[in-house]
Every structure is written in structure tokens, then in C-alpha cells.
Amino acid sequence: MKADALVYCENEFGSVDGKVANGLIRQSERYSIVGIIDSSKKGQDTGERLDGVSNGILIFESIEHALEELSTIPEYFIYGIAPLASFLNDEQKEIIFTAMKSGMNIVNGLPEFFNDNIHYTNMALKYGVTIQDVRKPPARKNLHNFSGRIGEVKVPIITVMGTDCAVGKRTTALVLVEALRNEGLNAVFVTTGQTGLLQGSKYGVAIDVLTSGFATGEVENAILNAYEQEQPDIIVVEGQGALSHPAFTSSSAIIRGAMPDAIIIQHPPKRKSYCDYPKIPLLDLVDEIEMIEVFSKSKVIAITINHENMTNVEVDNAIKRYESKYDLPVTDVLLHGCDKLVRELIKTFPELKRESVLI
């Protein structure tokens, strides 16, 4: 059974830095989300706020407000913000301590590991709660170098890349996996970030906290584990950041470790600059595609849209424009689903059609 969890996302729910909370509201196999804390949106329905469809999960002003309204104390308190800054300020630390005092176990997705801080661990001990640092990497002795065994994977490996951070790569990958499964295919998702792990992904690791010497190997190892354990028809790997993004290197490690057979690229047409770097213009989509194809020696086979700050009419116009310009299938999976992507994958990998017919 899923464990009840309250998610902290002050001032950020529905925004770029709230992507952890956003993802957990949309899907979680591990937690039953009972509420979001964001005083700037108190009283709103999280589903309506995020996707325009009510889900009955409310946004609370504070921990105290949430515990007054909820019938029981949630088992877990999740820090649901993914900021550029790695460390909590004093006010945010007090939020964590308040959650501990209330009897909730702490789930931390930051690269600041609470278990390494004696103040957090002493507080947890005092109140009888646990701390889980989701992004803390395995011990060095358990990390994997790249082996080249990725060549043993005999089913299509697809990566969902993007033109920036927080553009919906994980969401698109998960929606695609579900659509492929609905076609009778055994599709497996491999995560590369903390939100995928929090959502319950069985395979993957948060690679942005790994040293460069192991990031590629850990991506490869996660895919190999998924392949050997699940015997899938297709593997979909979550991308991180953007290959062009000057602040992050995760994309290159994912491409190297996965050696994808095809790539889907996610793009926010209205975004003009890189996430958290307003003075650095976003690379044009055509240039990002070229960079990815040269680097990966693979092909971008579809484009998916992030509709932030766009009307439905603008999304539809962007889809038509991109399909004409790039001669590729284009969709917004949250608005229009994955039919185009599934058709393109079956066209690109005909063995998938045979598998779906057999099942």
C-alpha cells in the first residue's frame, strides 16, 4: 500500500522549481499525496492548479493548517522543491524540524544530505522519525564504471531529451511508457533524477550527484538491470537538463550510458532563456536537435511540447509549425496524448508491432 505523504512546495507549486511536487501530484507509485504546502496558493485544488482537472488534493497554507484539516498525521513529509541553491536557509530548516516534531518521517530530494548533518539526525532521533536522502549516491565501492555491456541490450532504448531543465522530460517519458503498455508492450521506465525515484521508479539513480567517472556507468547499469529483470520490449530513459545547457553535464552522461537507438526531444516554445539563467538565451530547437544527433549518433524521431504560458490554440499552432518545419511527429502528451509517438516508434522499430500483436 502507498504511504500517506505531505509535500512542501512553498511559493513554487506549478512552477519550474516545484517540479518534484508537480511530478508527485501527477503520478506516484510509492506515496499517496494528501496535500501540498504552498501559502501563495492555499485552498486551491492541486489538479486544477497544475492541469486544469480536479483531483481532490488540496494546497495548505502551512504544516499546522494541513494537520488541522487532515484526519491523520501523514507518515512522510517530502521536500518538494528543486531549487538551484543546494542548501536550506534557516526558515526552511525550521519547516523540516516542525515536520519531525509532528511525527512525520522526512524524505529529502536535495543534494544537501540531511543524514550528514548532526542537527537533523539528532532531531530525528529525539522524535523517533527517519530521514531518507533520495539523491545520496551508493557507496563508492558499489558504483559502476561504464562497461560497454549496453551493447547486449537487444530492444530499443529511447531517451527523452530536452532543450532545458524542467521542461517535462520525465512526465513525457512516463506518459509514453503508459501508452506503450496500453498497446500490449512491455515498456520499462529508467529514471535519472530524484523525482522519478520518489515516484517509485524501480530502475535508475539521481546522476547529477555522481562524479563524472561514474555517471555514465550508473546509467548503463540501470538500463542493464531493467533489461535483465524485466525482459522488456522497449526501454524509455529519462533525460536531464539539456545537452546545450552550460551549467549541467547530466545529458551527456545519459546519452553516453544509454547509447539510445532513438531520441524524443521536449521543448517549451515560449521559454526564451535557460532555467535559472535569464541572461543566457535558450538554444534554438533546430540547433539542439543537431547537437544531440551529432553527439549521440542517433536520430531525433519526434518533438514533444511543454505548453507553459501557452493557450491551447498556441499549442496547436506550434504543433503544426514544427511538423511542417522538421517533418517529425509533434505532440503535447498532456493535452493530446502519445498516439503519434507510439506510431512513430512502431514505424521506426517494426518488431514492436509484432510484439503488440502477439500480446
DSSP notation for 20-85: HHHHHHH--SSEEEEEEE-GGGTT-BHHHHHHSS--SPBEESSHHHHHHHSSS--SEEEE----SS
SS3 337: coil
Alpha carbon separation from 6 to 37, 170, 194 (Å, rounded): 8, 21, 17
The yes-or-no verdict on residue 266 having pLDDT over 60 is yes
| Average pLDDT over every residue of 190-208 | 94
Same domain, 194 and 291: yes
Same domain, 92 and 225: no
The pLDDT score that the predictor gives to residue 356 is 66
Of the pLDDT bands very low, low, confident and very high (cuts 50, 70, 90), residue 358 is low
Indicate whether 204 and 339 sit together in one domain. yes
Are residue 181 and residue 50 in the same domain, yes or no?
A: no
Determine phi and psi for 190, rounding to 5 degrees. -115, 120
Cβ atoms within 10 A of the Cβ of 39, count? 12
HSE (side-chain half, CA atoms, 13 Å) at 119: 5
- Are residues 159 and 49 part of one domain? no
Instruction: Identify the band that residue 355 occupies on the pLDDT scale cut at 50, 70 and 90.
Output: low
Number of H helices, E strands in the chain: 14, 14
Number of Cβ atoms within 10 Å of the Cβ of 170: 28
At 282, list the grid cell.
535558450
Which pLDDT score, from 0 to 100, does residue 212 have? 85
Predicted confidence (pLDDT) at residue 268 exceeds the cutoff of 90: yes
Phi-psi region of 32 (alpha: psi -120 to 50; beta: other; left: phi over 0): beta
Looking at residue 220, its pLDDT comes to: 98
What CATH number did the domain enclosing 216 receive? 3.40.50.300
Q: Give strand pairing partners of 7.
A: 36, 78
Q: Are residues 121 and 170 in the same domain?
A: no
Q: List, for residues 42-71, the tens digit of each pLDDT value.
A: 999 999 999 999 999 999 999 999 999 999
Q: Do both 122 and 156 map to the same domain?
A: no
Confidence check: pLDDT of 338 > 80: yes
In this structure, the answer to whether residues 32 and 122 fall within a common structural domain is yes
Nearest to 13 by CA among 76, 59, 54: 59
Q: How far apart are CA 218 and CA 128, in angstroms?
A: 33
CA distances from 210 to 49, 214, 241 (A): 34, 6, 15
Output the nine-digit C-alpha cell for 19.
517540479
Q: Are residues 41 and 68 in the same domain?
A: yes
Same domain? For 105 and 237 the reply is no
Instruction: Please state, in angstroms and rounded to a whole number, the distance separating the CA atoms of residues 55 and 308.
Output: 20
In this model, does residue 169 exceed pLDDT 90?
A: yes
Is there a single domain that holds both residue 65 and residue 212?
no
User: Into how many domains does the chain fold?
Assistant: 2
pLDDT at 41 > cutoff 70? yes
Helix (H) or strand (E) run with residue 295 in it: helix 285-296
Regarding beta strands 330-331 and 300-305, do their DSSP bridges make them parallel or antiparallel, or are they unpaired?
parallel
pLDDT of residue 357: 60
Where among 79, 104, 133 does a domain terminate?
133
pLDDT over threshold 60, residue 187:
yes
pLDDT of the residue at 138: 87
Contact 277, 247 (CB under 8 A): yes
| DSSP structure string for 166-185 | SSSHHHHHHHHHHHHHHTT-
Are 162 and 297 in the same domain? yes
CA dist., res. 27 & res. 39, Å (int) = 23
Mean pLDDT for the stretch of residues 297-312: 97
Q: Which one, of 97, 121, 82, 104, lies nearest residue 6 by Cα?
A: 104
Q: How confident is the model at residue 82 (pLDDT cuts 50, 70, 90)?
A: confident
Residue 276, pLDDT > 90, answer: no
Q: Which of 113, 133, 153 is the last residue of a domain?
A: 133
Helix (H, G, I), strand (E, B) or coil at 140: helix
From 84, 109, 133, the end of a domain falls on 133
Give the structural domain span for 341. 142-358
Interhelix angle for 169-182 vs 339-348, to 10°?
Answer: 70
Q: Which three cell numbers stand for residue 356?
A: 503488440
**Using an 8 Å Cβ cutoff, are 187 and 232 in contact?**
yes
Summarize the confidence of residues 282-305 as an average pLDDT.
98
The per-residue pLDDT of the chain, averaged, comes to 95
Report the percentage of the chain scoring pLDDT > 70: 97
pLDDT score for 83? 77
